[in-house]
Amino acid sequence: MEVRPLARTLLHALIALPLALLGWAAVVCGLVAGGALSVTPAGPWIIALTARGALALGGLQRFLSSTLLDTRIDPPPRRAEPGAFGWRRAVLGDRAAWRAVGCALAAPLTAVLPSAVAAAGCAYGALLTLHPLLRRWNYRTVREAGGSTRRVSLEIGGVQFDSWPMWLVVVPAGITLLAVTPWLVRRALVPHRWLLRSLLGPDAAGQRIRTLEETRAQAVDDAAATLRRIERDLHDGTQARLVGLGMHLTLIAELVAADADRDRVLAVVETARSNAKQAVADLRVLVKGIHPPVLDQGLDTALATLAADSVLPVTVTTDIAERPAPALESIAYFCAAELLTNAVKHSAASEVRVAVRAADGVLRLSVRDDGQGGATVGAGSGLTGLRGRARTVDGTLTCESPAGGPTVVTVVLPYRRAPQR
């Protein structure tokens, strides 16, 4: 492990206990004062200020956890109401505020162990490592049975380590203790980290609300983008061809009425027919982007068609006893299509394997390529959009793509059978 992460871990362990004790004292004093004055108008205000201070302390602890431990804790959703009394009512009725109060009260219990381990490990490790230099100042006087005294700087189990041959034991022991202290601290921090994540992050209901808000926003954005794309394709492609077709039909009527040359009329008819065929082709492509007709034959057939159209060798394996709901088939199809496109464009792969399986209440789509790897979810990649599409039905998307490959993207959707007709 690198030196900087180790130093940050030790620093967090040393800061955690003093910060937890200060927060505990402030919260206890605030709650006691607010409870004692609860029969007066000042009591609720003191309790509200205490809860708000616990929220601020929780924000500081989340920042330290993210900065020093590389553990990101998302802030929980907060209530907000206008006005001073609305602010007090919102704080007193906010679950996140009371969970932060609970965290402030419990934090000293979980912070004491990592702080003690860090302090003891660093102190004793440094003393043992520097024992040959510090033994002149670090000693105690021992009185023996005859009344004589002697100075001993380090004695364990009756064995003295004050001579240089014994330093060969003391110094390596100190270096070893310093080396293992960060590892021990990280293990000791597990309960404290769990407490912070459980009480300072969003609870299950809050996380569910946040996910629904994000997926709703994603669905609205996708719908708006789809409508804009359909409008653009119709305006720039199909509409222009249909307008051209109407103009050619008008020209044909004029040529026929003028008894024009037969070859000239046939040439205009051929152009009109070509425009009509192209307009039909454009409409088919447009409809395929909304709902591929091949999906009416089932997801396995649709995926086989995708594989046949790909420029890479694609192996498709399906294990679906009963057809899933149309929405699930559509999501799985478009995810597979996008992942195959990504493999062709970016992965430098030689083959792709697509597997779909419906079992244990989920529909699992896995796309694996043997390319160069390095794919990530986020940073504006197409995988982010696919994850948003999957989350609209409470699905998940995971990507394993180490440098050098292979890349495996797995989409898991809650399985629902297609309605009986």
CA angle in degrees (0–180, nearest 5) for 43-103-99: 65
pLDDT band at residue 137 using 50, 70 and 90 as cut-offs: low
Average pLDDT over residues 65-86: 81
- CATH topology for 293-414 is Heat Shock Protein 90 (3.30.565)
Q: Is the pLDDT of residue 25 over 90?
A: yes
Q: State both tokens at 222.
A: 């996708």
Could you tell me if 103 and 196 are in contact, meaning their C-beta atoms sit under 8 angstroms apart?
yes
Annotated domain spans of the chain: 3-197, 204-290, 293-414
Q: Is the model more confident about 229 or about 68? A: 68
CA angle in degrees (0–180, nearest 5) for 163-169-174: 110
Q: Is the pLDDT of residue 127 over 90?
A: no
How many Cα atoms are found within 13 Å in the side-chain-facing hemisphere of 101?
19
Rounded to whole angstroms, the Cα distance separating 324 from 320 reads 8
Can you give the pLDDT at residue 379?
54
Q: Is the pLDDT of residue 421 over 80?
A: no
Average pLDDT over residues 351-361: 87
Q: Is the pLDDT of residue 157 over 50?
A: no
Residue 57's closest CA among 79, 32, 28? 28
Q: Is the pLDDT of residue 164 over 60?
A: no
Residue 187's closest CA among 108, 117, 107? 117
Helix, strand, or coil here: 31? helix
In this structure, what DSSP letter does residue 369 have? E
Q: Find residue 142's DSSP bridge partners.
A: 150
Could you tell me if 115 and 191 are in contact, meaning their C-beta atoms sit under 8 angstroms apart?
no
Residue 358's closest CA among 393, 323, 382, 334? 323
Query: Which tens digit of pLDDT belongs to each residue from 367-401?
Result: 988 888 877 776 556 777 788 778 777 788 888 88
How many Cα atoms are found within 13 Å in the side-chain-facing hemisphere of 147?
0
Could you tell me if 207 and 35 are in contact, meaning their C-beta atoms sit under 8 angstroms apart?
no
pLDDT band at residue 21 using 50, 70 and 90 as cut-offs: very high
CA angle in degrees (0–180, nearest 5) for 204-208-211: 140
Percentage of the residues of the chain whose pLDDT score is greater than 90? 8
Average pLDDT over residues 410-416: 86
Can you give the pLDDT at residue 162?
60
Residue-averaged pLDDT of the chain: 78
Percentage of the residues of the chain whose pLDDT score is greater than 70? 76
User: Phi and psi at residue 168, in whole multiples of 5°?
Assistant: -65, -15
Please give the radius of gyration of the chain, using alpha carbons only, rounded to the nearest integer: 35
In this structure, what DSSP letter does residue 324 have? B
Can you give the pLDDT at residue 233?
63
Q: In terms of residues, how long is the chain?
A: 421
- Range of lowest pLDDT (7-16, 101-110, 199-208, 392-401): 199-208
Q: Is the model more confident about 372 or about 28? A: 28
Average pLDDT over residues 407-421: 79
Q: 346-350, long-range: CB within 8 Å, 24+ apart, which pairs?
A: 346/371, 346/375, 347/371, 347/372, 347/373, 347/375, 347/405, 347/407, 348/372, 349/312, 349/405, 349/407, 350/312, 350/313
Residue 329's closest CA among 285, 307, 296, 359? 296
Average pLDDT over residues 350-371: 87
Average pLDDT over residues 177-201: 85
pLDDT band at residue 229 using 50, 70 and 90 as cut-offs: low
Helices 95-129 and 42-69: crossing angle in degrees, nearest 10, is: 50
Average pLDDT over residues 242-246: 75
Average pLDDT over residues 121-131: 75
Could you tell me if 319 and 358 are in contact, meaning their C-beta atoms sit under 8 angstroms apart?
yes
Cα distance between the two ends of the chain? 60
pLDDT band at residue 109 using 50, 70 and 90 as cut-offs: very high
State pTM to two decimals: 0.51
Can you give the pLDDT at residue 1?
44
Rounded to whole angstroms, the Cα distance separating 123 from 115 reads 12
Could you tell me if 99 and 79 are in contact, meaning their C-beta atoms sit under 8 angstroms apart?
no
Residue 261 φ/ψ region, left for φ over 0, alpha for ψ in the -120 to 50 degree band, beta for the rest: beta
Can you give the pLDDT at residue 22?
93
Query: Which tens digit of pLDDT belongs to each residue from 315-353?
Result: 888 888 888 888 788 888 888 888 888 888 887 888 889
Can you give the pLDDT at residue 219?
59
Could you tell me if 336 and 368 are in contact, meaning their C-beta atoms sit under 8 angstroms apart?
no
